[in-house]
Chain A
Amino acid sequence: MEFYHFTEFAWPHLPPDDEFTSARLNLPSSVYDPKKGADLYNMCLDQYVLADELGLNCMVNEHHQTSTCLNPSGVVPLSILARQTRNARILILGNPAANLADPIRCAEEMAMIDNISYGRLDCGFVRGVPYELFASNCNPTETAERLWESIDLIQKAWTTQDGPFNYEGKWIHKRQVNVWPRPYQQPHPPVWTTGGSDLAHACRTVARGFTFAMFLTPVDKLAAMFNGVRSWCREQGLQRPADDKFAFMPLVAVGETEKEAREVIERVFWYVVNNKAEPQHRAPPGYVETSLYADFLSGRFTGGRTDAIRRQGMEYFRENHVAIYGTPENVVSQIKALHKKSGGFGNLIAMLHSGDMDFDMTAKSMTLFAEKVVPHLKDLGTVSKTFGPLRKRGGKRVA
């Protein structure tokens, strides 16, 4: 199993809860203090440098117009990490491919970063959470399709080595595509996507030979998706995808004692509690499936996954492996149990920092995780033998 460190660069200095309705989209930037913010950026980047030294990998993301994530471009921290880390895989999860005005620029940037890092890039593409539609002004009814059009075009651009090609698709038009440089990893860096309940998207991801990641999902839903993909592959006559085609991100805290770990995870949990948004920003028409949107309109659906788990509290989080915390031994056994119950996955993205956690507190939890947990789990999960789309059982590749 591969292990990634993650912080969302969340702004912790929010006004009192009754003074704002949403941490996203409409919170004025007067709430942000550049002096404190500069320290926060550098503290978070220091965490990744430490992760590299500890033998962990790094994952960065991006969100827009929000205090919950101060990276409006994942490319910026990723570029820094390409130089400031030595051994870590550096994962961006991801490029908001459905909302990008110019996917070819993304192909170029990712190829550069792959070169600068000597081939350590894991390149994720995401549809983006619904809030992003307001920041990007992209049409919510189009994003599911646009995500895949962008991915297909970027993959084609990375792998075309004989000069310009023409592309006039449904959403994107480029008449002379000829990306320089080529990626360092050939034919291209590993590709990841994320998803919620859209099984068809998850199946498409894995069948293409990409890695499918889920975040903060209770284990029964996680298992339903991961096993759903495996069943679909079997029905399609495809080889069984290895565990490294699946990834999961829980909140993680490791302490020398149970009490210490509990105190740290409460600080990470801050992210979930304070991640509030206005309901209409979660459900622009056409983003979710029609039936769910109908329930939203008629008041049958009042909140999403985050709301549900937020209401349940920390014990529910732990029982469902959304929060993993405790002494090193305890965390090892929780991850083993999660691996088994989920049907198997090969990448664990540990959200080890959030809220007002300072560097020392985070570093201690990270160090215990890297030194006392990871060594016991390295051999967990199966690894793909080949790169690229899953083969038909019997040897033939599928597109």
Chain B
Amino acid sequence: MTTRSDILNIEGVRIDVERRGKGRPLLLLHGEDGFEANLPLLDDLARNFEVVAPRMPGFGKSMAPESLRSIDDVSYVWLDLLARLDLKSVTVLGFSVGGWLALEMATKNTSRIARMVLAGSVGVKFGGAYDRDIEDIYFHNAKAVRAMRFHDPEKDPHLDLTTLSKREAMGLARSREAIAKLCWEPYFHNPSLRHRLHRADVPVQVVWGAKDGMTAPKYGRALAKSLPTGRFGSIPKAGHFPHIEQPERFAAVLKNFLDSTKGVR
């Protein structure tokens, strides 16, 4: 499997992009923890797709310039990235904050996007002012946050951070700072996005862990319903990261959607 890593300069922003495999392009947008950089899922996808996986600003070698102050800002960089690589008929696969980014992109311009899969996506506010749509991952202690995000807390890739080298810990710290900068307030959503979802006029598969305690499944259902052609799939025995807790079930939902939307654009 050919894998190449490049630092691309996207209109002044240096972005760390990994590309793997050959075929139709698939843009993989990782979540706030960056878990998705090395999943076996990537290798599976790379058998049929050219997987393009940019690291978010502040992650890996991607820079986090002052000018990027919101997920909305970052979504323009990703749209510019699609143009730079001249990717067409792109399948976008976004996890959590990566799903939010996919929605921001698709509500701006779907000319290069064929379809999207959003797993545990955040980014939209559905409830009222007093409703906590997205649980507070900063306010609670690590154990409580793990319990809300994982059906089986032992599956948390960050279960034990004491084994990290200082260099690795610095990388994680930088990435968490970048996420806090972009997502602290409004908390993991863009108040305008809900009113733009009608513009995301491509087939969208929303995938949710049935035991997600960070964003409850009803949030995922509301998201699927708000999209022009959204469908919803629930994965049992999984929390906010169904692709980590139930990789085979996740792959099956993914395959089903990709097969049924093969001919799109």
Using a CB–CB distance below 8 Å, which chain A residues touch chain B?
A: 25-26, 134, 137-142, 278-281, 284-286, 290-291, 293-295, 297-300
The contact of B177 among A141, A279, A295, by CB within 8 Å, is A141
Which B residues are in CB contact (< 8 Å) with A278?
Answer: 141
Q: Which residue of A lies closest to B163 (CB)?
A: A298
Alpha-carbon distance between A142 and B66 when the two chains are bound, in angstroms = 11
Which A residues are in CB contact (< 8 Å) with B168?
Answer: 298
Q: Which residue of A lies closest to B173 (CB)?
A: A294
9 other contacts beyond A138-B185, A141-B184, A285-B138, with CB at 8 A cut-off? Answer: A139-B180, A139-B181, A280-B139, A286-B177, A286-B180, A294-B170, A297-B161, A298-B166, A298-B172
Q: Which 8 A-B pairs have the closest CB atoms?
A: A294-B169, A294-B173, A298-B169, A285-B180, A141-B181, A139-B184, A285-B176, A299-B162
B71 interface residue, CB < 8 Å from A? no
Which A residues are in CB contact (< 8 Å) with B180?
Answer: 139-141, 284-286
Task: Give the contacts of B199-253 with A (CB-CB under 8 A).
Answer: none
B195 interface residue, CB < 8 Å from A? no
Alpha-carbon distance between A141 and B142 when the two chains are bound, in angstroms = 20
Can you spell out 15 A-B residue pairs with CB atoms less than 8 angstroms apart? Answer: A137-B187, A139-B181, A139-B184, A140-B180, A279-B141, A284-B138, A285-B173, A285-B179, A286-B180, A286-B181, A291-B170, A293-B176, A298-B169, A299-B162, A300-B169
Asked whether B164 lies within 8 Å of A298 as measured between CB atoms, the reply is yes
Instruction: Give, as a whole number of angstroms, the nearest-CB distance from B195 to chain A.
Output: 23
Which A residues are in CB contact (< 8 Å) with B140?
Answer: 280
B61 interface residue, CB < 8 Å from A? no
Asked whether A299 lies within 8 Å of B161 as measured between CB atoms, the reply is yes
Which A residues are in CB contact (< 8 Å) with B112?
Answer: none
Instruction: Give, as a whole number of angstroms, the nearest-CB distance from A279 to chain B.
Output: 7
- Listed residue (B141, B142, B162, B173) with the most chain A CB atoms within 10 angstroms of its CB: B173
Q: Which residue of A lies closest to B162 (CB)?
A: A299
- Listed residue (A26, A137, A293, A298) with the most chain B CB atoms within 10 angstroms of its CB: A298
CB 8 Å contact bits of B129-165 with A (1 = contact, 0 = none): 0000000001111100000000000000000011010
B22 interface residue, CB < 8 Å from A? no
Instruction: Give, as a whole number of angstroms, the nearest-CB distance from A33 to chain B.
Output: 26
Counting residue pairs across A and B whose Cβ atoms lie within 8 Å, the total is: 70
Using a CB–CB distance below 8 Å, which chain B residues touch chain A?
A: 138-142, 161-162, 164, 166, 168-170, 172-174, 176-177, 179-181, 184-185, 187
Alpha-carbon distance between A290 and B164 when the two chains are bound, in angstroms = 15
Which A residues are in CB contact (< 8 Å) with B139?
Answer: 25-26, 134, 280-281
Alpha-carbon distance between A284 and B173 when the two chains are bound, in angstroms = 11
Asked whether B162 lies within 8 Å of A298 as measured between CB atoms, the reply is yes
Q: Which residue of A lies closest to B167 (CB)?
A: A294
Which A residues are in CB contact (< 8 Å) with B142?
Answer: 280
Q: Which residue of A lies closest to B66 (CB)?
A: A170
> Contacts A134-B138, A134-B139 hold; do A285 and B177 have CB atoms under 8 A apart?
yes
Q: Which residue of B lies closest to A140 (CB)?
A: B180
The contact of B174 among A26, A290, A295, by CB within 8 Å, is A290
Instruction: Give, as a whole number of angstroms, the nearest-CB distance from B149 to chain A.
Output: 14
Which B residues are in CB contact (< 8 Å) with A294?
Answer: 166, 169-170, 172-173
Asked whether A290 lies within 8 Å of B177 as measured between CB atoms, the reply is yes
Instruction: Give, as a whole number of angstroms, the nearest-CB distance from B157 to chain A.
Output: 14
Which A residues are in CB contact (< 8 Å) with B179?
Answer: 285
Q: Which residue of B lies closest to A139 (CB)?
A: B184
Asked whether B173 lies within 8 Å of A140 as measured between CB atoms, the reply is no
Which B residues are in CB contact (< 8 Å) with A293?
Answer: 173, 176-177
Instruction: Give, as a whole number of angstroms, the nearest-CB distance from B147 to chain A.
Output: 14
Alpha-carbon distance between A134 and B185 when the two chains are bound, in angstroms = 11
Alpha-carbon distance between A284 and B142 when the two chains are bound, in angstroms = 12
Alpha-carbon distance between A25 and B141 when the two chains are bound, in angstroms = 13
Alpha-carbon distance between A134 and B187 when the two chains are bound, in angstroms = 12
The contact of A280 among B138, B166, B172, by CB within 8 Å, is B138
Asked whether A140 lies within 8 Å of B169 as measured between CB atoms, the reply is no
Alpha-carbon distance between A26 and B144 when the two chains are bound, in angstroms = 14
Which A residues are in CB contact (< 8 Å) with B161?
Answer: 297-299
Q: Which residue of A lies closest to B176 (CB)?
A: A285
Asked whether B170 lies within 8 Å of A137 as measured between CB atoms, the reply is no
Alpha-carbon distance between A295 and B174 when the two chains are bound, in angstroms = 12
Alpha-carbon distance between A285 and B173 when the two chains are bound, in angstroms = 7
Q: Which residue of B lies closest to A281 (CB)?
A: B139
Q: Which residue of B lies closest to A145 (CB)?
A: B66
> Contacts A139-B180, A139-B185, A286-B180 hold; do A280 and B141 have CB atoms under 8 A apart?
yes
Which A residues are in CB contact (< 8 Å) with B138?
Answer: 134, 280, 284-285
Asked whether B185 lies within 8 Å of A137 as measured between CB atoms, the reply is yes
Instruction: Give, as a whole number of angstroms, the nearest-CB distance from A100 to chain B.
Output: 15
Q: Which residue of A lies closest to B174 (CB)?
A: A290
Q: Which residue of A lies closest to B166 (CB)?
A: A294
Which A residues are in CB contact (< 8 Å) with B177?
Answer: 141, 285-286, 290, 293
- Listed residue (B142, B162, B172, B184) with the most chain A CB atoms within 10 angstroms of its CB: B184
Instruction: Give, as a whole number of angstroms, the nearest-CB distance from B4 to chain A.
Output: 29
